[in-house]
Amino acid sequence: MTATQPKPSTGKTIIRLPGAAEKAPRRGSRRRRLVELSLAVLFPATLIGLWQLASTFDWIDSRLYPSPSDIVAKTRTLFADRGLGDHVWITIKRILWGYLWGVLGGLVVGIGMGMFRLLRKAGEPTLVALYTVPKLALLPIYLTIFGFGETTIIALISTTVFFFVWLSTVAAVMAVPEEYREAAQSFGVNRWQLFRHVMFPAALPQIFVGLRLAAGVSVLMIVGVEFVLGGQGLGHVINGGRLLGLIEQTYVGIAIVAVIGVVFSALVRLAGRLASPWSTEDRSQAAM
């Protein structure tokens, strides 16, 4: 049995040359963002184009599924003749106020429970139980407390947003590596300094993930509440179209709600990037 002889070295050196994106990172980043933006616009544009073709060639029943061009025309009519702009503004105000109060409450409670173990053990079972309750089921209770009016609607949105922000904030604070705490404590920082300079900055990117989810949920909740209470808002517009058989009006309301949700979520995401430029997402995108 003979020993295996090592293969002689070929003496070749592998050299990796930098690519175009590495030679000009800014140009590569702009090009990548342009491609991503193009894809983000092209996909829904393609779906809308197919929808228009299907309606034009009677592949679908335009009485039940009006074409995008008919929806746009109806939108102009509603804005001009029926005060659709007032309904849109009322819905946006309700979303913003409910989101603001829900975020404030969720951040305070979430940070407190994330930082203090005893507080978390005391409050978590109750909050988890309340989290599982459908928030529209609280509407009769809120009506008895606040009566019919804006306060009830804003309170329901705030309650819904609160739980999403609370959950994400607690998880974000608890996910901060223990090494961060130990390193800060070795410098003799107090509890406020630990929170201000270590815990909060480390948890902020994940907190904004919860804020984005809460933004979308607030739009969902406002439509449901306005559906039930009626009177004003885009939920009322959608439900009115359903009750009166004005199918185009229903689609107009749905389309505007979708636009509001996309814009609101994008604004919260932008705020997160500005508030936490050190986040993993931003670093990975800059390196690509």
Which domain CATH number covers 135? Answer: 1.10.3720.10
Has residue 42 been placed in a domain? no
Q: Is the pLDDT of residue 28 over 70?
A: no
What is the model's pLDDT at position 79?
79
Q: Which amino acid is at 186?
A: S
Q: What span, in angstroms and rounded, lies between the C-alpha atoms of 201 and 187? A: 18
pLDDT in tens, 102-143: 999 999 999 988 888 888 888 888 888 888 888 888 888 888
Question: Which spans in 24-149 are helix H?
Answer: 25-56, 68-81, 84-115, 117-131, 139-146
- What mean pLDDT is predicted for residues 36-62? 84
Average pLDDT score over residue span 64-87: 81
Q: Is residue 24 part of a domain?
A: no
pLDDT at 137 (0 to 100): 86
**Of 62-71, 116-125, 163-172, 277-286, where does mean pLDDT reach its minimum?**
277-286
For the ranges 30-39, 144-153, 191-200, the maximum mean pLDDT occurs at 144-153
pLDDT band at 30 (very low <50, low <70, confident <90, very high): confident
Q: Which domain, by its residues, includes 252? A: 70-287
User: Is 185 in contact with 223 (CB distance < 8 Å)?
Assistant: no
Q: How confident is the model over 227-270, as pLDDT tens digits? A: 888 678 888 888 888 887 788 888 888 889 999 999 999 999 99
Tell whether 47 is covered by a domain: no
Inside any domain, residue 165: yes
Contact 268, 212 (CB under 8 A): yes
More confident residue, 106 or 177: 106
Predicted confidence at residue 8, as pLDDT, reads 57
Percent of the chain residues topping a pLDDT of 90: 22
Could you tell me if residue 113 is inside a domain? yes
Question: What is each CA distance from 153 to 112, 131, 272, in whole angstroms?
Answer: 27, 18, 27
Please tell me the total count of domains within the chain.
1
Q: What is the pTM (predicted TM-score) of this model?
A: 0.80
Whether residue 59 lies inside any domain: the answer is: no
